[in-house]
Amino acid sequence: MSPALPVEHAMDYLTCQSCRRPATDNLLSYRRGSTVVRNDTFLQCDICERYACAECLQVYDIFSGYDFLCHECAETFQPPPPGTRGH
């Protein structure tokens, strides 16, 4: 029998950690290209590990063909704005 999650971790699945909205059917339907994948709980960003709703997290085809990135982390993969230097 696995131990139960502490209450503060269990709440991570019920509220989007980006926009703080509670889980609803609409916010649990994630879009990957032209397909929509329905999930029972919020998905976790592969980089920052926050749980995010379908509006705050996208399914990208970057590394493995099925990468979950929140909008904030996805911006780090964008090229730098014109006229600025990257690192």
Task: Residue 16: count other Cβ atoms within 10 Å of its Cβ.
Answer: 21
Query: Does residue 2 fall inside a structural domain?
Result: no
Query: Does residue 59 fall inside a structural domain?
Result: yes
pLDDT band at 6 (very low <50, low <70, confident <90, very high): very low
Query: Does residue 35 fall inside a structural domain?
Result: yes
User: Measured between alpha carbons, how far is 38 from 59 in angstroms, rounded to an integer?
Assistant: 12
Average pLDDT over the chain reads 77
Reported as a single tens digit per residue, the pLDDT across 43-75 is 898 889 999 999 998 777 655 666 788 888 888
Q: What is the number of structural domains in the chain?
A: 1
Length in residues, the chain: 87
Taking residues 31-35, what's their average pLDDT? 80
Query: Does residue 38 fall inside a structural domain?
Result: yes
Taking residues 2-23, what's their average pLDDT? 66
Query: Does residue 87 fall inside a structural domain?
Result: no
Cβ neighbourhood burial of 51 (10 Å; 0-12, 13-18, 19+): buried
Domain coverage including residue 22: 7-75
Torsion (CA) 22, 13, 66, 60 in degrees, nearest 10: 40
pLDDT at 2: 38
Query: Does residue 16 fall inside a structural domain?
Result: yes
